[in-house]
Amino acid sequence: MSDDKKKVGKADRDRVSRNEPYEVDRIAKKHQMPAPLVEKIIEQVGPMRRDVEKKLEDMKKNRK
């Protein structure tokens, strides 16, 4: 189901839709990670943005 751009609010900003390429690409670019990896992380931790971003940050820290 595609995102209704007219219904924007906290609940929409709190989540990342794996089915919306622009949302995945935005987070991938922000964290300098490949989009397929971001999709895999969304699948693992769920759609909550804070969980996805925390996992990406943890991965970046462990990579150094």
Digit-by-digit pLDDT tens for the chain (64 residues) are 455 666 666 667 889 999 999 999 999 999 999 999 999 999 999 999 999 999 999 998 887 6
15 strand-pairing partners:
48
Q: pTM higher than 0.95, yes or no? A: no
Name, in order, each residue with C-beta under 8 angstroms of 27's C-beta and a sequence gap of 6 or more: 16, 38, 49, 52, 53, 56
**Structural contact between residues 28 and 37, judged by C-beta atoms closer than 8 angstroms:** yes
**Structural contact between residues 12 and 3, judged by C-beta atoms closer than 8 angstroms:** yes
